[in-house]
Amino acid sequence: MKNLSLIIVIGLILLLGGCGCSGYNNMISLDQNVKKVWGNVQSEYQRRSDLVPNLVNTVKGVADFEKSTLTEVTNARARATQMTIDPANLTPENIAKFQEAQGQLSGALSRLLVSMEKYPELKATENFSSLQTQLEGTENRIKTARNDYNAAVQEYNTSVKRFPNNLLAGMFGFSEKGYFSADAGAEKAPSVDFTK
């Protein structure tokens, strides 16, 4: 009878230990995947940032182009490239700060591209058209990278919150990671007026 009790206790310890190791290893894999996908997000934002100087230099060739718009784009790019996050610290607060800096650059680029309508000679240049196309493609890649990141974070956060992983997560320092969210004001559709 004692042997049977001992075997049951040892069996339970092995079962719980095996589940614990499996849960821990799964959280490690998911955490590494989030870090990899975060690297992809940063890479796409870096690609956009690398295109900005070429775009600004191309636009500078138009003598009467608004200097304030170019300065705004250059300053927003500088702020966006200075904002980096350690992949081990992808908290919701840090993601929001990163997103805000990138949003400022997006807004400045949008204003720059809208102001191009006044300069048909600039729009007609091959270099500008090529840069604009590359920038549009990069924005699409950023959106895809952000969606992939959110999917990886959702899988990771679900694993960290599930029982019994939530017990292990607390012991080993696995905490929830932040998501990208819609930019402020994105819920409001822009108004379009063709009567003017």
Q: pLDDT tens digits for 51-101?
A: 888 888 877 766 456 677 788 888 888 888 888 888 888 888 888 889 888
Residue 103 confidence (pLDDT) above 50: yes
138 lies in some domain: yes
Residue 49 confidence (pLDDT) above 80: yes
Residue 170 confidence (pLDDT) above 70: yes
Q: How far apart are CA 188 and CA 22, in angstroms?
A: 45
Please tell me the predicted confidence (pLDDT) of residue 88: 81
157 lies in some domain: yes
Please tell me the predicted confidence (pLDDT) of residue 4: 66
Classify burial at 83, counting beta carbons within 10 Å of its beta carbon; exposed 0-12, middle 13-18, buried 19 or more: middle
The mean pLDDT value of the chain amounts to: 79
Q: pLDDT tens digits for 122-167?
A: 766 777 778 888 888 888 999 999 999 999 999 999 988 888 888 8
Confidence of residue 18 (pLDDT cuts 50, 70, 90): low
Domain CATH number, residue 68: 1.20.120
Please tell me the predicted confidence (pLDDT) of residue 167: 81
Q: How far apart are CA 49 and CA 117, in angstroms?
A: 23
Share of the chain above pLDDT 90, in %: 12
Residue 7 confidence (pLDDT) above 80: no
Domain count, the chain: 1
Classify burial at 52, counting beta carbons within 10 Å of its beta carbon; exposed 0-12, middle 13-18, buried 19 or more: buried
Q: How far is CA 194 from the centre of its chain?
A: 35
Q: How far apart are CA 123 and CA 113, in angstroms?
A: 10
Could you list the residue range(s) of the whole structural domain that residue 113 is in?
33-172
